[in-house]
Structure 1
Amino acid sequence: MSRMIADHSSFGLGASFKNTSDKDSASDEEAVDEKSQVLRAAMSHVSRLGWTESALVQGAKDAGLSPAIVGSFPRKDAALVEFFMDECNRHLEDEVEAREKELSSMLLAERIAQLVRLRLQMQIPFLSKWPQALSIQAHPMNAATALKQRAVLMDDIWHAVGDRSTDMDWYTKRALLGGVYAATELYMLTDYSPGHRDSWAFLERRIKDAIDCRKTAQEASQLAQAVGMGLSNSLSSLFSRGSQM
């Protein structure tokens, strides 16, 4: 039987299946590439149109594609926010590599604050529309991806500052940083100081407090819970405003 299968392959059956698979793969890659083009082009319209289908339609036109392609995005507004988050996280990796020498000369708290600041600065051009983005991320259909993206970001930041822990402290440190990051992210939305200097001062205080409170895993966990509770109330109010924009 094995010889018969081999003989069939020699008549081109195997090549036929391979060619079909290659065509499907090429088609899938082309579709993904076109979607990326739309998402990238749509970003230039977010500050005016928000994280919306309208921004995607304009992006498709800018990319020279039919606006009908927008229908292939199952979660249109979420796709745009998630694309932006992934792009920012990748850009932060490049910043870490470029600033390796500079970061190595800083104290731990300074390194963490600098990386969080670099990441949050990427959102400044879209700050007026960021409540809408947070509202989209909080939607039950999108929350899992949003949490994963933020978890990866916290892990990348800790890894970049030299943390290699694998015990339970690994979780509490990331929970703490996630709370500090989110609190600063919200603070920025109502900060009108020049260059957002009040936000960066707020960030530095929160980072220092978080590191000082990391005397034990229990203290860190308690602080993370306290930050989370206060943040939850703030987000509820913010999301309700964002959904009305």
Structure 2
Amino acid sequence: MTPTPTQSVKIQLLDAIIPHVAFDGWAPAAFDAAIADSGVDPALARSLCPRGAIDLAIAFHEQGDQAMVAALHAADLTHMRFRDKVAHAIRLRIAAIPDKEAVRRGTALFALPHMAADGARLIWGTADQIWTALGDTSEDANWYTKRLTLSGVYASVVLYWLGDDSTGGQATDAFIDRRIDDVMQVEKVKARLRDNPVLKPLTLPFGRLMAGIKAPRRNIDPDLPGIWRDPT
């Protein structure tokens, strides 16, 4: 997809800010340097990024999501188990990161109390992109629980990866497999509890309640969690 003129300017600013983030973080100084280096008109830059470097940090994360989705669509997943497809998607998302220090600085930024909501939305968005690309058709509470669980997995993988100095990221690869295995064990326990005839009188009402929760309709509810899209 060809970027719009607005998107092209944001890409220019994003490319220009990355070398400065390692030293200044996603901060006003880095944003000012990006404007100077890119040659973008300062008024235009600030109109596109009213929060300055914060908006570019968000764009940096979303750019990685887009690269992951493109790589997923190009990959042959035919013979993979579903758990392996999810693990592969996480690996592709990590591989889509062009600058580790930019992520480290972003992690520190979105850990700040006033930025926590933005950080949570970005992680949720990554999980949503993975499930959607893998063909998730959930229409009930499972839509939310799948993304919530994967958000936790992806967030833990990123933190582990930031501290991983193993050759070729082998330790991170193994960590991803362990985390996916943990999730699968939880799902197995949930299934056993759900199918246990002794517990059914307790679990059945809860199941009915959960079935009443509906996934957001993407063409009608574009601002609900996990499906927010940048209007630019």
Give the structure-2-normalised TM-score: 0.69
Partner residue in 2 for 1:95: 71
Aligned partners of 2:77 and 2:85 also within 8 Å:
yes
Counterparts of 1:138 and 1:131, CA distance in 2: 11
Residue by residue, what CA displacement relative to the aligned partner does 1:118-171 show, whole Å, maximum 9, x if unpaired? 112233x43234333112223344333332222222122122223212222222
The answer to whether 1:135 aligns with 2:115 is no
The answer to whether 1:187 aligns with 2:152 is no
How much does 1:115 deviate?
0.5
Which segments of 5 or more consecutive residues in structure 1 lack a partner in the other structure? Answer: 1-28, 220-245
Question: The residue matched to 1:142 in structure 2 has which SS?
Answer: helix
Counterparts of 2:7 and 2:104, CA distance in 1: 28
Aligned partners of 2:21 and 2:105 also within 8 Å:
no
Query: CA, structure 1 residues 116+159, in 2 after alignment: closer, same or farther (shift >3 Å)?
Result: same
The answer to whether 1:154 aligns with 2:133 is no
Residue by residue, what CA displacement relative to the aligned partner does 1:153-193 show, whole Å, maximum 9, x if unpaired? 21221222232122222222221111111111111122110
> What is the letter of the counterpart of residue 86 of structure 1?
E
Residue by residue, what CA displacement relative to the aligned partner does 1:47-82 show, whole Å, maximum 9, x if unpaired? 444322233223222322355666554322311210
Counterparts of 1:152 and 1:67, CA distance in 2: 30
Aligned partners of 1:172 and 1:217 also within 8 Å:
no
The answer to whether 1:145 aligns with 2:118 is yes
Partner residue in 2 for 1:54: 29
Give the structure-1-normalised TM-score: 0.66
Question: The residue matched to 1:105 in structure 2 has which SS?
Answer: coil
1:1-245 alignment, distance < 5 Å = 34-66=9-41, 72=47, 73-99=49-75, 102-123=76-97, 125-215=98-188, 216=190
How much does 1:46 deviate?
2.7
Q: Larger relative contact order (C-alpha < 8 A, sep ≥ 6)?
A: 2
Question: The residue matched to 1:60 in structure 2 has which SS?
Answer: helix
Residue by residue, what CA displacement relative to the aligned partner does 1:58-114 show, whole Å, maximum 9, x if unpaired? 322232235566655432231121010111111112112211xx2122111111011
Q: Which has the larger radius of gyration?
A: 1
Structural RMSD (CA): 2.7
> What is the letter of the counterpart of residue 12 of structure 2?
Q
> What is the letter of the counterpart of residue 40 of structure 1?
D
Aligned partners of 1:169 and 1:217 also within 8 Å:
no
- Which structure has more helix as a fraction of its residues? 1
Aligned partners of 1:77 and 1:136 also within 8 Å:
no
Residue by residue, what CA displacement relative to the aligned partner does 1:195-243 show, whole Å, maximum 9, x if unpaired? 1110110111111220222132798xxxxxxxxxxxxxxxxxxxxxxxx
How much does 1:35 deviate?
4.4
Counterparts of 2:82 and 2:166, CA distance in 1: 26
Counterparts of 2:7 and 2:121, CA distance in 1: 21
